[in-house]
Structures are given as structure tokens and as C-alpha cells.
């Protein structure tokens, strides 16, 4: 009796034990109309080869990391995650050196009319170096794909400071007319106010080439007048003074023209009532 119970118990255990499932895979036979069938045994408790869950990276995290670095507005499609990029550092240096230049320019006298002033020439070269950093930070930002919001905010402010501080100094030296400073300052105030109003409506008007030419020619005129301060009185002094006064007049015309062009583009947004 005991042996019979043992045999029956073993038979029940054999029935309850799960059997491995068989997977039927149909394979294409080379002969037409005949399909070969192969049976592959797959144990239910042994999943297919997969990477361990601890080592697998969630797809959402990977996507969010990629989306955080991509920016369609840049040349390379990448936006720097840090504010202190090479371009922004150059812009900050330009801003910091503006009061330094003004202090040096006030301390160094111009030519007395009889001799050439080498110290005043160094002041002019110092200003030229500060002005050229505008091209340098723009090149670094575009070539390295490091266009940032901080840079877009600080770069135009630095350009305006470089121009307005130098014009104020030249006005003090009686080398430019007060109307030059008035037109340039008025244009900057009006365009800045227009930009704020348009931005509140969710509209951004891209800067035109006129604005870039206006800034470049104004800096050339200022640099030329600073060089003229180094010369002694004579024909060369008079010719260069007259030439760079004409260049400054052209810069004032471009300043007014670029401001009018900006208002033409944004006038319809000023007339829209919310």
C-alpha cells in the first residue's frame, strides 16, 4: 500500500510540473509550396537575453538631455549650458575696460599743436582694441555654437556704451557737435522702447544690416578723431579732421535711417489695440 501511494504521489507531481512551452517557427523553404516547420523549446522562466534593468537608461532621460542641448537658432544646433562662454567673457571684458579707457583718456592730454603725442596715440589704439572685441565675441559665439540669452542681452549694451562714452569724451574735447550725441542717444531710446512694446506682443523684429553698418562706421569715425588728437597742427591735421567729420556725419545719417527703418517695420504693431 505504501509503495502504491508513493507511486501515485509521484505521478501527481509529474502532472503538476509545468512543461516548457514550444514555439513553432515557420521557415521559408526553397521549394515552392512547402513550408518547413521547426520547433524551438523556450523555458517560461528563462526570459530572452536582455540588458539588466539596473544598467538600462530610461529613454525619457536620454531625450530630455538631448533636447536641453539642442537649439535651432545656433549654427551648430547646440546651445551652451553655461553663461560663462568665451564670447560672453570677451563681452564682459569690453564692458569693464570702458571706464578704464575713459580714465586713461581723461588723464592723457592731446597734442599741444606743436609736437606729436605718442601717449594720445596709445589712447586711440586702446579704443580700437575695445571696439574690435565686438567682432571677436560675435565670431566666437557663432563658430562655437555658444549663443546665449545673456550674450544677446549684454552685447548690444556693450556696443552702445563703447560709442556713447567715446562720443561724450570727444564732445568734451570739442571735436564733435552736440547734435551728433543727441541723434544717437535719441535713436537708441526710441528703438529700445519700440522693442519693448513689440516684445510684449510676442513679436521680434530682426536687426537689419543698417544697424551693423551704423555701429561700424560710428566706431571708425571715433577712432579716426582720436588719432587726429595726436597730430600737430598743419595740413595733415586739417585734412584728416575734415575727413573724419564727414565720416561721423555719415554715421549720424545711418543712425537716423536705421531708426526710421525699424519704426517702419514695427509701426503696425504700435497701432494694434489689445
- Is residue 78 scored above 80 in pLDDT? no
Residue 194 CB contacts under 8 Å (≥ 6 apart), including other chains: 262, 263, 266, 270
Q: Which residue has the cell 605718442?
A: 118
**Band of the pLDDT at 56, cuts 50, 70, 90?**
low
Residue 111: pLDDT band (50, 70, 90) is: confident
Q: What is the pLDDT of residue 45?
A: 54
Angle at CA 89, nearest 5°, toward 84 and 90? 155
User: How confident is the model over 126-176, as pLDDT tens digits?
Assistant: 999 999 988 888 788 888 887 888 888 888 889 899 999 999 999 999 999
DSSP-derived secondary structure letter, 35: E
pLDDT tens across 6-22, in order?
Answer: 444 454 544 455 554 44
Tell me the three state secondary structure of residue 28: strand
Report pTM: 0.67
Question: Coil, helix or strand for 8?
Answer: helix
Residue 196 · residue 264 · CB < 8 Å: no
Distance CA 17, CA 10 (A): 11
pLDDT band (50, 70, 90) for residue 245: very high
Q: What is the pLDDT of residues 169-209, one digit of tens each?
A: 999 999 999 999 999 999 999 988 888 888 887 777 777 78
If pLDDT is split at 50, 70 and 90, which confidence band does 274 have?
A: low
* b/e code 81-120 from CB counts within 10 Å (16+ = b): eeeebebbebbbebbebbeebbeebeebebbeeeeebeeb
**According to CATH, what is the number of the domain 71-271?**
1.20.120.1760
Q: Where are the domains of the chain?
A: 71-271
Instruction: Decide: 211 and 258 in contact? Cβ < 8 Å.
Output: yes
Average pLDDT, the chain: 76
More confident: 63 or 89: 89
pLDDT at 71: 46
Q: What is the distance between the terminal CA atoms of the chain, rounded to a whole angstrom?
A: 99
Amino acid at each position: 500500500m505504501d509503495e502504491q501511494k508513493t507511486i501515485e504521489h509521484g505521478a501527481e507531481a509529474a502532472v503538476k510540473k509545468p512543461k516548457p512551452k514550444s514555439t513553432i517557427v515557420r521557415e521559408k523553404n526553397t521549394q515552392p509550396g512547402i513550408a518547413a516547420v521547426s520547433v524551438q523549446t523556450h523555458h517560461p522562466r528563462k526570459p530572452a537575453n536582455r540588458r539588466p534593468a539596473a544598467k538600462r537608461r530610461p529613454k525619457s532621460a536620454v531625450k530630455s538631455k538631448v533636447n536641453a542641448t539642442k537649439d535651432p537658432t545656433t549654427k551648430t544646433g547646440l546651445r551652451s549650458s553655461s553663461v560663462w562662454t568665451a564670447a560672453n567673457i570677451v563681452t564682459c571684458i569690453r564692458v569693464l575696460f570702458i571706464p578704464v579707457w575713459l580714465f586713461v583718456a581723461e588723464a592723457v592730454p592731446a597734442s599741444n599743436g606743436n609736437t606729436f603725442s605718442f601717449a594720445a596715440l596709445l589712447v586711440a589704439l586702446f579704443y580700437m582694441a575695445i571696439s574690435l572685441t565686438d567682432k571677436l565675441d560675435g565670431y566666437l559665439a557663432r563658430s562655437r555654437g555658444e549663443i546665449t540669452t545673456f550674450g544677446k542681452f549684454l552685447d548690444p549694451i556693450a556696443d552702445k556704451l563703447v560709442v556713447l562714452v567715446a562720443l561724450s569724451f570727444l564732445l568734451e574735447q570739442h571735436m564733435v557737435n552736440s547734435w551728433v550725441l543727441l541723434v544717437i542717444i535719441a535713436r537708441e531710446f526710441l528703438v529700445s522702447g519700440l522693442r519693448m512694446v513689440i516684445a510684449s506682443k510676442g513679436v521680434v523684429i530682426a536687426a537689419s544690416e543698417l544697424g551693423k553698418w551704423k555701429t561700424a562706421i560710428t566706431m571708425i569715425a571715433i577712432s579716426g578723431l582720436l588719432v587726429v588728437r595726436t597730430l600737430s597742427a598743419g595740413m595733415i591735421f586739417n585734412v584728416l579732421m575734415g575727413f573724419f567729420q564727414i565720416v561721423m556725419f555719415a554715421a549720424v545719417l545711418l543712425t537716423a535711417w536705421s531708426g526710421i527703418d525699424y519704426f517702419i517695420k514695427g509701426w503696425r504693431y504700435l497701432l494694434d489695440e489689445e
